[in-house]
Amino acid sequence: MSKKDDKKLIVDMISESEFTVQGHGVHTAFVEMTNALKDRNDIDIAVNKARLDADIVHAQTTGLYSMKKMRQSGGKKVVSAHVVPASFIGSIKGAKLLEPLARAYLRWFYNKADLVLAVSDYTKNELEKIGVKKPISILYNTIDTAKYANSPAKKKSARQKLGISNDAFVVVGSGQVQPRKRVDVFFNMAEKMPDVEFVWVGGVPFGVIAAENGAMQRMMNNPPKNLKFTGVIPLDDVADYYRAADVFVLPSEQETFGLVVVEAAAAGLPVVLRDISDYDTTFRDGAVMASSDSDFVTQVDKLRRNKKFYSQQCRLAEKIAKRFDSSAGAERLVEFYRSLI
């Protein structure tokens, strides 16, 4: 790996997801970023330590444990902003009532950093709206796209492993099962397209405190015959579902970034997303945008029947994967680190 100077940076990476709830995008982003830095020879990285000789302490989560570690470490303080107040609405029970408190807390937390790294332009704008005054730069989430690489042989193997017929047309979605993700749209798609196989990768990792937990559990327990909910599964197993699929769909109404989009694109899948401004500077040019709930069915049906359109969207998805590969993200992150010291 390239170096900006001869000094090996000592970095403490902090994430409460290491010992609490996993199965969500923030944990995935933390794992991917940490692994990318471990692959470099100019970084000495440790997880959930607070070394007095650290150059950088980088928090991926915003709990009190992360604040404690930032205060204990001797390094400059960097915080990745994966969440904004709107992220909690449709995710956690009572979020609308607690939004003023969440706004105040996040403003306080992010303002303790020397540098805030927003995961998208949308996120940066939201941070500025809530009163974050510390320097904010944009660092998009990235993944090791090689882990999701696909081929006809890998696709066949994945389908055999998962018990999916070789001639099935498979639509996959991914993320927490919560109102904000609009999993109900995915559910309705399966009902309207009975000859298509649907798989939603993910569950309800936050359990009883999750928004509309009862309704989400009922939906997961009573799907159409052509829809499978995997529940929360190990990150290493997720790639099999992407490889087995033909199309990726995410009907979410709000995303700070949407790391699952990059995962699906890295597996060579055409991507269908809701037409929201959150994707303006990230995925819009590489995805099919659905303008309404019913449009998701229309766009998937077009991808299924129009081979030229399907091939075109696969090529565009490849551009998403290349843009958000972790090697480029790690290089950019180290540049931010060195700018602080």
Q: pLDDT 10s digit of each residue in the chain, 341 long?
A: 444 456 799 999 999 999 876 657 789 899 999 999 999 999 999 999 999 999 999 999 999 999 999 999 999 999 999 989 887 544 455 556 778 888 999 999 999 999 999 999 999 999 999 999 999 999 999 999 999 999 999 999 999 999 999 999 999 999 988 888 999 999 999 999 999 999 999 987 555 555 567 788 888 999 999 999 999 898 889 999 999 999 999 999 989 899 999 999 999 999 999 999 989 999 999 999 999 999 999 999 999 999 999 999 999 999 999 999 998 899 999 999 999 98
- Residues 302 and 317 grouped into a single domain: yes
Q: Quick check: is 2 in a domain?
A: no
**b/e code 90-105 from CB counts within 10 Å (16+ = b):** bbbeebeeeeeebbee
CB–CB of 106/130 below 8 Å? yes
User: Which range of residues forms the domain containing residue 228?
Assistant: 145-323
Q: Quick check: is 329 in a domain?
A: yes
Residue 272 pairs with which residues in a beta bridge?
A: 249, 288
- Residues 120 and 194 grouped into a single domain: no
Q: Quick check: is 265 in a domain?
A: yes
- Best CA proximity match to 176, nearest among 146, 133, 216, 208: 216
Q: Quick check: is 204 in a domain?
A: yes
- Residues 18 and 75 grouped into a single domain: yes
DSSP string for residues in 92-103? BTTHHHHHHHHH
Q: Could you tell me the CA-to-CA distances from 78 to 17, 33, 47, 103 in Å, in that order?
A: 17, 13, 14, 19
- Residues 331 and 263 grouped into a single domain: no
Q: Quick check: is 108 in a domain?
A: yes
CA distance 164 to 304: 17
Q: Quick check: is 3 in a domain?
A: no
- Residues 277 and 222 grouped into a single domain: yes
- Residues 103 and 151 grouped into a single domain: no
- Residues 235 and 153 grouped into a single domain: yes
